[in-house]
Chain A
Amino acid sequence: MDTTTSTTLDEVKQLMRMAVGDEKHDVSAHSTLDILWVLYDRVLRYVPDKPEAKERDRFLLSKGHGPLALYAILAAKGFFPTTELERFGTWEGILGGHPDRQQVPGIEISTGSLGHGLPMAVGVALALRAKKGEQRVFVLIGDGECNEGSIWEAVMLAGQLNLANLTCILVNNHSSLYNFSDLETKFSAFHWQTTNVDGRNHEQLYQALSMTATTQPHVIIADIAR
């Protein structure tokens, strides 16, 4: 499947600047930018003009806050016209402060309320396993989102079910009210494979996102200095 384009990260940043009106989520959008860039530029398998192609890898933005980085990358990669960024948050456009799967090509799930996407990703991973599919499931959560109880329900479940086709990217931008200094041990205790990376280091991100599946779900804890 085609994952190569000539787009650059600088072009994505320019696209992000075209959209105005979501300043409250600026930190959130910029926290995820490098991670999503590496994911869509070098890791995920997808076909931009067939966003529902069965053989695609799935990416679910559980942390629906600050989707601007994702919008800009999807536009840069050809899922929809880049001019949509100019219509962010308007009646005429399809892009808003939280993404709507029925509006935006390439958006797998509609999110915004925290704690929903990881359980849904577990369901997607189970469904793909039941169909003997080779596709991988990636889901992105935030450390603030880890205050939600449903996240830990799903963490417990995925470890118990040995969901090796599931990779969770935990963006730790230190926005949680509680200090999760030892996130790695928490996931390990629930039988997850864990990797710590610098959330701005593209090579570290690429290595972690490309890791071959073992028998367990994999969490990549991506630290973002705040």
Chain B
Amino acid sequence: MTTTQKLSMRDQMVATIAELFERDERTALVLAAVSATQFAPILQRYPQRALNLGIMEQSMIGVAAGFALEGFIPFAHTITPFLVERPLEQLKDDFCYQGLGGNFLSIGASYDYSTDGPTHHGPADVPLLMQLPDMQIVVPGTAHELDQLLQAAYANGSPTYYRTSVAEHNEHLDIEFGKLKVIKQGSQATVIAVGPSLEYVLPAVEGLDVTLLYCTTVAPFDKETLRAYASKGEIVVVEPYYEGALVPGISAALEDMPTRIKAIGVPRQFLHRYGTLEQYNAALRLTPEEIHRRIEQFL
């Protein structure tokens, strides 16, 4: 693993979609004003199938579904709460229930907008979307991973959510859609780090005799790899959104063996403070030191 300098996930999202537009005429893009500047070259070059609709997120998802009905592969994008929470019913009815494929790409994960308050926070995105049958959920940890996952899954015919974040880890990993990646092996417990959480989990497990699995596809969850690396039945999962979303999946994967699970993630509370990501992480006990202490306590 090497440390590299790279595009932000947001810039990578634009770059990858631009590349996909170049080579796949089935692609379509709808925006609700957010990132219109970044996507301007695509909007100008493909005005028939790349449109900024204005600030109407429910209709943005409905229009994307209309494109999907006609055989296009739509991409829809805005800030997390407006992509997931406001049009949640459109995601359910217009895509999942209809049986249509589409790609939903958010910016502003959890409290990325740390100075903008809870209207712009989105830590409920993954837990909410996990309630929608057939919705795939992707949580890349770097721009490179976003590119790999988007290229792999954009045309797979399923509704798929991509959670991009300003929080990234510093490893350069090649990952596979739908697969856990084994980072290291140990004997005391199995730690699962999801997406950007890896940045803090890697130092947190330093010196601990644990297996570390890295997860970028939350749904569908890779039960097989977990089963192969969880013989001890002691599981810690560290997630960058509301804590515990993966617990049912882990529990189901290991249903025939005695299992203890510790879930670490964002607590369910409104954050009535403004500040930096680091201040939020410290207040919510999501620093490497705190994660290390909580894992040791569990063991």
Interface 9-residue window, one of B67-75, B234-242, B257-265, B282-290: B67-75
B119 in the interface, Cβ–Cβ < 8 Å? Answer: no
Residue on A nearest B66 in the bound complex, by CB: A123
Chief secondary structure at chain B's binding surface? helix
Interface 9-residue window, one of A12-20, A79-87, A112-120: A112-120
A224 in the interface, Cβ–Cβ < 8 Å? Answer: no
Q: Is the CB of A154 within 8 A of B67?
A: no
Contact indicator per residue, chain A 95-130, by CB within 8 Å of chain B (1) or not (0): 000000110000011111101101111111111111
Given A110-B98, A119-B59, A157 and B65 touching (CB < 8 A)?
no
Q: Is the CB of B69 within 8 A of A122?
A: no
B233 in the interface, Cβ–Cβ < 8 Å? Answer: no
A204 in the interface, Cβ–Cβ < 8 Å? Answer: no
Distance in angstroms between the alpha carbons of A101 and B99 in the assembled complex: 9
Given A102-B99, A127-B70, A130-B48, A120 and B56 touching (CB < 8 A)?
no
B250 in the interface, Cβ–Cβ < 8 Å? Answer: no
A162 in the interface, Cβ–Cβ < 8 Å? Answer: no
Residue on B nearest A111 in the bound complex, by CB: B93
Q: Is the CB of B64 within 8 A of A123?
A: yes
A23 in the interface, Cβ–Cβ < 8 Å? Answer: no
Q: Is the CB of B28 within 8 A of A127?
A: yes
Q: Is the CB of A157 within 8 A of B54?
A: yes
A193 CB, min distance to chain B CBs, angstroms: 20
Q: Is the CB of B72 within 8 A of A157?
A: no
Q: Which residue in B53, B66, B71 is a CB contact (below 8 Å) of A121? A: B66
Residue on A nearest B62 in the bound complex, by CB: A119
Q: Which residue in B74, B90, B93 is a CB contact (below 8 Å) of A110? A: B93
Near B by CB (< 8 A), chain A positions 3-50 give none
Chain A residues positioned under 8 Å from B62 (CB to CB): 116, 118-120, 122-123, 150, 154
Near A by CB (< 8 A), chain B positions 69-99 give 69-72, 74, 89-90, 93-94, 97-99
Q: Is the CB of B59 within 8 A of A154?
A: yes
Q: Is the CB of B48 within 8 A of A129?
A: yes
Q: What are 19 pairs between A and B in contact, CB < 8 Å? A: A102-B99, A109-B98, A115-B58, A119-B58, A119-B59, A119-B94, A122-B66, A123-B62, A125-B66, A126-B51, A127-B28, A127-B66, A127-B70, A128-B70, A130-B49, A153-B59, A156-B56, A157-B54, A157-B63
Near A by CB (< 8 A), chain B positions 93-111 give 93-94, 97-99
9 shortest interchain CB distances as A-B pairs: A123-B66, A119-B62, A127-B70, A123-B63, A130-B48, A153-B56, A119-B59, A153-B59, A124-B66
Distance in angstroms between the alpha carbons of A128 and B94 in the assembled complex: 18
A156 CB, min distance to chain B CBs, angstroms: 8
Distance in angstroms between the alpha carbons of A116 and B58 in the assembled complex: 8
Residue on A nearest B56 in the bound complex, by CB: A153
Near A by CB (< 8 A), chain B positions 102-124 give none
Distance in angstroms between the alpha carbons of A113 and B98 in the assembled complex: 13
Given A102-B99, A116-B90, A127 and B58 touching (CB < 8 A)?
no
Q: Which residue in B28, B53, B69, B99 is a CB contact (below 8 Å) of A120? A: B69
Chain B residues positioned under 8 Å from A115 (CB to CB): 58
Q: Which residue in B48, B70, B89 is a CB contact (below 8 Å) of A124? A: B70
A226 in the interface, Cβ–Cβ < 8 Å? Answer: no
Q: Is the CB of A150 within 8 A of B58?
A: yes
Distance in angstroms between the alpha carbons of A125 and B51 in the assembled complex: 13
Chain A residues positioned under 8 Å from B72 (CB to CB): 127, 130
Chain B residues positioned under 8 Å from A153 (CB to CB): 56, 58-59
A123-B65, A127-B67 given; name 4 further pairs at CB < 8 Å. A119-B90, A122-B62, A123-B70, A127-B69
Chain B residues positioned under 8 Å from A161 (CB to CB): 51
Given A130-B28, A153-B56, A157-B59, A120 and B66 touching (CB < 8 A)?
yes
Contact indicator per residue, chain A 189-209, by CB within 8 Å of chain B (1) or not (0): 000000000000000000000
A19 CB, min distance to chain B CBs, angstroms: 23
Distance in angstroms between the alpha carbons of A152 and B93 in the assembled complex: 19
Chain A residues positioned under 8 Å from B93 (CB to CB): 110-113, 116
Chain B residues positioned under 8 Å from A101 (CB to CB): 98-99
Chain B residues positioned under 8 Å from A150 (CB to CB): 56, 58-59, 62, 90
Residue on B nearest A109 in the bound complex, by CB: B98
Distance in angstroms between the alpha carbons of A154 and B63 in the assembled complex: 9
Distance in angstroms between the alpha carbons of A110 and B62 in the assembled complex: 12
Chain B residues positioned under 8 Å from A108 (CB to CB): 69
Q: Is the CB of B59 within 8 A of A109?
A: no
A151 CB, min distance to chain B CBs, angstroms: 9
Residue on B nearest A102 in the bound complex, by CB: B99
Distance in angstroms between the alpha carbons of A129 and B183 in the assembled complex: 49
